[in-house]
Amino acid sequence: MDIRMTGIQPNHKNSSMSADSDSLKQSVVEKFGTPCTVVDLDIVENNIANAQQRCNDAGIANRPHIKTHKSPFFANQQLQAGAVGITCQKLGEAEVMFNAGITDIVIATNLIGAARSGKLAALQQQVALKVCADNQVTLTEYAKAACQAERTIDVLIECDTGQKRAGVETPGQARELAEIIDSNPWLDFAGLLFYPLLDTWPQTQAFFDEVSAGLSKLGMSAGIVSTGGTPNFVNLGNLQGATEHRAGTCIFNDRMMMAAGVATLDDCALQVFTTVVSRAGAERGILDAGSKTLTSDQGGLDGFGYIVEHPDAKIIKFSEEHGFLDLSRCQPKPGIGDVVRVIPNHVCVAVNMVDNLVAVRNNEIVDVIPVAARGKLV
Amino acid sequence: MDIRMTGIQPNHKNSSMSADSDSLKQSVVEKFGTPCTVVDLDIVENNIANAQQRCNDAGIANRPHIKTHKSPFFANQQLQAGAVGITCQKLGEAEVMFNAGITDIVIATNLIGAARSGKLAALQQQVALKVCADNQVTLTEYAKAACQAERTIDVLIECDTGQKRAGVETPGQARELAEIIDSNPWLDFAGLLFYPLLDTWPQTQAFFDEVSAGLSKLGMSAGIVSTGGTPNFVNLGNLQGATEHRAGTCIFNDRMMMAAGVATLDDCALQVFTTVVSRAGAERGILDAGSKTLTSDQGGLDGFGYIVEHPDAKIIKFSEEHGFLDLSRCQPKPGIGDVVRVIPNHVCVAVNMVDNLVAVRNNEIVDVIPVAARGKLV
């Protein structure tokens, strides 16, 4: 998705240069130093409530993807707001969430390494997981893990309708995998997982209808029919037969979501507080946050983040611990020592860089929340 | 630096499809699952020895940059091989290294947030650090921290000769800062820090000579004159007056260093073991490693990593937990379940994603080494 930055107006709550935000900056600097990744809990709770309401309005169960926050704290907030369960991308994330008491978990990927290592069997023994597959090798691994755990495992078939990532490309392949699942005593067919592009919902409907018809002939049906993605909220309810939606980014939002027109500046809950540490040239400056804080993931946008106080300052490049500012279009220009707040292009990968998030409400620090599932690669 | 991939031949030790590497893959999968970041200690020790030898040959002290490995284990190996001390980029990294017993530390950046938070004073109280500055605001913060620590602090002046990152742009500015340092009872002038581009060593010499002449008139001189960078080993000794060199990447090397012609496949110590988890299309595949494992940092190269077993397979894109393989030019193509080894484009940021490195020798797992200074953003 090559989304370009649309015009975003700076005059929002987030952009206030108020005494309140100055006082918060000072508190953050004094307690933690910079760079510091800060999340506003009021905005988070509003975002959680909005996502839940949109699902409720569409009659679709909400199964948020925890890849964005990787924290049981926020997962539990989502469940309390009405989510039916959660989505994870890695087995290690599911372990963290299960250890925090969460039991309704879809893992939305082909797990092969985690199955072979015995980690899948170990967790499946403790909690009935729902896993995904788009091929027979994965199914064989799942059956072995289920046998080892002595508990059958629920499997969703991942279907591709445009992302060209994982997912079978034809309804016939989906039906074949469903038959294999059905014939294996250790596997239970749990449903279908889609991640349509914004404009491939009609194709997704056709794909789903054909799979459904095929399953019907086998006396089977999909219990779960899942769609995904924050930008896809606009399409929620457009797939007849869909039962749940998994969105991640909407809990925090980011510059990509603003550029896609699905979030405003006031919906962006996460900011990286960073200090201007050098102004060696008249038209340029350096931040103490680089790719090891905000990542090199541009998400198809120009530049590397939105600076709340200086929307016309452009982060043109990162080295590992430096952000390169082009200040040529920026008036007034930030001075050395100024702390500025950056909304990342892609919040999911920015959260993944830190062990903790500093939580604030009304510009006061109220908590430090561990990103407990960070670094769970397997 | 926009370096393009040069032709790299696959027939090296690293690329062997031997029973030994198959057996290592199996051990890695069974013990850890995939993706898994693996480092070969024999190659590391060879790289450490080579870097030290090159410094010895040039009569330049070796002060390796620990940003690449972020681990006291490797820092101590470098010191045992003859390094005079280490370079850190963050105060938090220096804390970890000091707690592991390392006391000769340069922090090669303007520290402002870490100075204001009191963290700089707290560490300076325990160990005499060498810090860097390119401006008066930073110097003021350093003086405050030194006063708080009740110990004067050594300051190097960072000078820019082409990177356009941090660093004063003129010799006159360097001399002014030296005077300010000299006049402050809490600051001691320790020297000059350069990071020349490959082709700006002559300008760097002119810059240094002019600063030296200016300092001389003030009755001052630079005790440390530091250059940096792994590709700059080719220029080692070319700056008359240089006393030490700080290089990071050469301990592990990566696809960028191969493309720059300063490392071969056999010099690359770090590989990410990853499983092909989907082959939904005939000409494409999906790895279980994405931007949360290998990062989106392309380092100016085409594609996102070098696949040892399939040099003609191209990693064309990452999502967070998926690597997108273009297999159209690859024969034979990897199958679902195959484990492949990826050399990252940029190893420093790949190490920064994991809490531990799995250490091997002769294709046997021998250790698990914590990346103890990972996530130390401040």
Q: Give pLDDT tens digits for A301-358.
A: 999 999 999 999 999 999 999 999 999 999 999 999 999 999 999 999 999 999 999 9
Residue A134 CA to residue A142 CA, distance in Å, equals 12
A chain contacts of residue B354, beta-carbon cutoff 8 Å: 375, 377
CB-based contact A270:A252 (threshold 8 Å): yes
Which amino acid, one-letter code, is at A97? M
CA angle B302, B306, B309 (to 5 degrees): 140
* Cross-chain CB nearest to B320 (options A114, A167, A348): A348
Give the per-residue pLDDT at A1: 33
Residue B242 tokens read as 């240089």
Residue B94 tokens read as 């220096």
Which residue matches tokens 């399953």? Answer: A215
Give the per-residue pLDDT at B9: 44
Residue B324 CA to residue A18 CA, distance in Å, equals 45
Give the per-residue pLDDT at B257: 98
Q: pLDDT band at B265, cuts 50/70/90?
A: very high
Q: Using the predicted structure, report yes or no on whether residue A98 has a pLDDT greater than 80.
A: yes
Q: pLDDT band at B154, cuts 50/70/90?
A: very high
- The alpha-carbon gap from B57 to the nearest alpha carbon of chain A, in Å, equals 30
CB-based contact B76:B100 (threshold 8 Å): yes
Give the per-residue pLDDT at A327: 98
Q: pLDDT tens digit string along B30-80? A: 999 999 999 999 999 999 999 999 999 999 999 999 999 999 999 999 999
Taking the Cβ of residue B22 and every Cβ of chain A, the question of whether any pair is shorter than 8 Å is answered with no
Largest CA distance in chain B: 72
Q: Where are the beta strands (DSSP E) in B233-361?
A: 244-246, 270-278, 284-287, 306-307, 314-318, 323-326, 339-343, 356-361
* Cα B81 to chain centroid, rounded: 18
Q: pLDDT band at A19, cuts 50/70/90?
A: confident
* Cross-chain CB nearest to A354 (options B37, B292, B375): B375
Q: pLDDT band at A16, cuts 50/70/90?
A: very low
Residue A269 CA to residue A250 CA, distance in Å, equals 10
Q: Is the dihedral of CA B219, B223, B227, B233 positive or negative?
A: positive
* Cα A199 to chain centroid, rounded: 20
Which residue spans of chain A are classified as CATH 3.20.20.10?
Answer: 42-251
Which residue matches tokens 């899948």? Answer: A120
Which residue matches tokens 């541009």? Answer: A298
Give the per-residue pLDDT at B13: 53
Exposed, middle or buried, B17 (CB in 10 Å: 0-12/13-18/19+)? Answer: exposed
Q: Using the predicted structure, report yes or no on whether residue A18 has a pLDDT greater than 80.
A: no
> Which residue of A91, A275, A278, A296 is the best one to mutate when testing the B interface, meaning the one whose CB has the most B CBs within 10 A?
A278
Taking the Cβ of residue A170 and every Cβ of chain B, the question of whether any pair is shorter than 8 Å is answered with no
Residue B129: strand, helix, or coil:
coil
CB-based contact B47:B251 (threshold 8 Å): yes
Q: What is the 3-state secondary structure (H, E, C) of chain A?
A: CCCCCCCCCCCCHHHCCCHHHHHHHHHHHHHHCCCEEEEEHHHHHHHHHHHHHHHHHHCCEECCECCCCCCHHHHHHHHHCCCCCEEECCHHHHHHHHHCCCCCEEEEEECCHHHHCCHHHHHHHHCCCEEEECCHHHHHHHHHHHHHHCCCEEEEEEECCCCCCCCECCHHHHHHHHHHHHHCCCEEEEEEEECCCCCCHHHHHHHHHHHHHHHHHCCCCCCEEEEECCHHHHHCCCCCCCCEEECCHHHCCCHHHHHCCCCCHHHCCEEEEEEEEECCCCCEEEECCCHHHHCCCCCCCCCCCEECCCCCCEEEEECCCCEEEECCCCCCCCCCCCEEEEECCCHHHHHCCCCEEEEEECCEEEEEEECCCCCCCC
Cα-only R_g, chain A: 22
Q: Quickly name the fold that domain B13-40+254-370 has.
A: Lyase, Ornithine Decarboxylase; Chain A, domain 1 (2.40.37)
Which residue matches tokens 């089977």? Answer: A220
Interface contact A117-B90, CB threshold 8 A:
no
Q: pLDDT tens digit string along B277-326? A: 999 999 999 999 999 999 999 999 999 999 999 999 999 999 999 999 99
Strand B364-370 with B356-361, pairing: antiparallel
Q: Using the predicted structure, report yes or no on whether residue A207 has a pLDDT greater than 90.
A: yes
Residue B45 CA to residue B205 CA, distance in Å, equals 32
Give the per-residue pLDDT at B14: 54
To the nearest 10°, the Cα dihedral for B42, B48, B54, B58? Answer: -160
Element (H, E) at B22: helix B19-32
- The alpha-carbon gap from B295 to the nearest alpha carbon of chain A, in Å, equals 7
CB-based contact A247:A65 (threshold 8 Å): yes
CB-based contact B49:B81 (threshold 8 Å): yes
CB-based contact A105:A66 (threshold 8 Å): no
- The alpha-carbon gap from B134 to the nearest alpha carbon of chain A, in Å, equals 7
- B-contacting residues in A 43-62 (Cβ below 8 Å): none
Residue B116 CA to residue A291 CA, distance in Å, equals 23
Which residue spans of chain B are classified as CATH 3.20.20.10?
Answer: 59-251
* A80 CB-near residues (< 8 Å, 6+ apart): none
* Cross-chain CB nearest to B277 (options A31, A138, A160): A138
Residue B127 CA to residue B133 CA, distance in Å, equals 19
Share of residues in chain A with pLDDT > 70 (%): 96
Q: pLDDT band at A284, cuts 50/70/90?
A: very high
Interface contact A137-B336, CB threshold 8 A:
yes
Q: Using the predicted structure, report yes or no on whether residue A8 has a pLDDT greater than 60.
A: no
Which amino acid, one-letter code, is at A267? D
- The alpha-carbon gap from A118 to the nearest alpha carbon of chain B, in Å, equals 7
Exposed, middle or buried, B335 (CB in 10 Å: 0-12/13-18/19+)? Answer: exposed
Q: Using the predicted structure, report yes or no on whether residue A28 has a pLDDT greater than 50.
A: yes
- The alpha-carbon gap from A247 to the nearest alpha carbon of chain B, in Å, equals 14
Q: Is the dihedral of CA A362, A365, A367, A373 positive or negative?
A: positive
Mean pLDDT value across chain A: 95
Q: pLDDT tens digit string along B161-178? A: 999 999 999 999 999 999
CA angle B202, B204, B210 (to 5 degrees): 105
Give the per-residue pLDDT at A3: 35
B chain contacts of residue A165, beta-carbon cutoff 8 Å: 278, 286, 319, 322, 324
Residue A126 CA to residue A128 CA, distance in Å, equals 7
Residue A78 CA to residue A94 CA, distance in Å, equals 15
Residue B288 CA to residue B279 CA, distance in Å, equals 12
DSSP 8-state code for residue B277:
E
Which residue spans of chain B are classified as CATH 2.40.37.20?
Answer: 13-40+254-370
A13-41+254-370 carries CATH number 3.40.50.970? no
Taking the Cβ of residue A327 and every Cβ of chain B, the question of whether any pair is shorter than 8 Å is answered with no
- ipTM score here? 0.95
Q: How far is CA B46 from CA A341, B50, B188, B315, in A?
A: 43, 6, 37, 29
Give the per-residue pLDDT at B66: 98
Give the per-residue pLDDT at A20: 86
Interface contact B349-A166, CB threshold 8 A:
no
Q: Using the predicted structure, report yes or no on whether residue A14 has a pLDDT greater than 90.
A: no
> Which residue of A135, A165, A273 is the best one to mutate when testing the B interface, meaning the one whose CB has the most B CBs within 10 A?
A165
Measure the N-to-C terminal CA separation of chain A; round to a whole number of Å. 26
Residue A165 CA to residue B317 CA, distance in Å, equals 10
Helix crossing, B171-183 with B136-149: angle to 10°? Answer: 20
B chain contacts of residue A35, beta-carbon cutoff 8 Å: 113, 377-378
Q: pLDDT tens digit string along B105-139? A: 999 999 999 999 999 999 999 999 999 999 999 99
Q: Using the predicted structure, report yes or no on whether residue B362 has a pLDDT greater than 90.
A: yes
Taking the Cβ of residue A146 and every Cβ of chain B, the question of whether any pair is shorter than 8 Å is answered with no
Residue A195 CA to residue A165 CA, distance in Å, equals 10
Q: At residue B168, what are phi and psi to the nearest 5 degrees? A: -65, 150
Closest chain A residue to B116, measured at CA: A30
Residue B324 CA to residue B304 CA, distance in Å, equals 9
Cis peptide before A370 (omega within 30 of 0): no
Taking the Cβ of residue B110 and every Cβ of chain A, the question of whether any pair is shorter than 8 Å is answered with yes
CATH class of domain segment(s) B59-251? alpha beta
Give the per-residue pLDDT at A362: 96
Closest CA to B175 of B161, B196, B189: B189
CB-based contact A303:A294 (threshold 8 Å): no
Residue B304 CA to residue B295 CA, distance in Å, equals 9
Quick one: CATH architecture of A42-251?
Alpha-Beta Barrel (3.20)
Interface contact B165-A89, CB threshold 8 A:
no
Interface contact B167-A278, CB threshold 8 A:
yes
Q: Mean per-residue pLDDT for B218-238? A: 97
Q: Mean per-residue pLDDT for B323-331? A: 97
- A-contacting residues in B 249-288 (Cβ below 8 Å): 275, 277-281, 284, 286, 288
Q: Mean per-residue pLDDT for B262-266? A: 98
Q: How far is CA B91 from CA A84, B100, B117, B121, in A?
A: 43, 14, 11, 11
Taking the Cβ of residue B138 and every Cβ of chain A, the question of whether any pair is shorter than 8 Å is answered with yes
Interface contact B137-A324, CB threshold 8 A:
no
Q: Mean per-residue pLDDT for A231-249? A: 97
Q: pLDDT band at B18, cuts 50/70/90?
A: confident
* Cross-chain CB nearest to B89 (options A33, A320, A352): A320
Q: Mean per-residue pLDDT for A74-96? A: 98
Q: Where are the beta strands (DSSP E) in chain B?
A: 36-40, 61-62, 86-88, 105-110, 130-133, 153-159, 187-194, 224-228, 244-246, 270-278, 284-287, 306-307, 314-318, 323-326, 339-343, 356-361, 364-370
* Cross-chain CB nearest to A377 (options B35, B116, B167): B35
CB-based contact A190:A156 (threshold 8 Å): yes
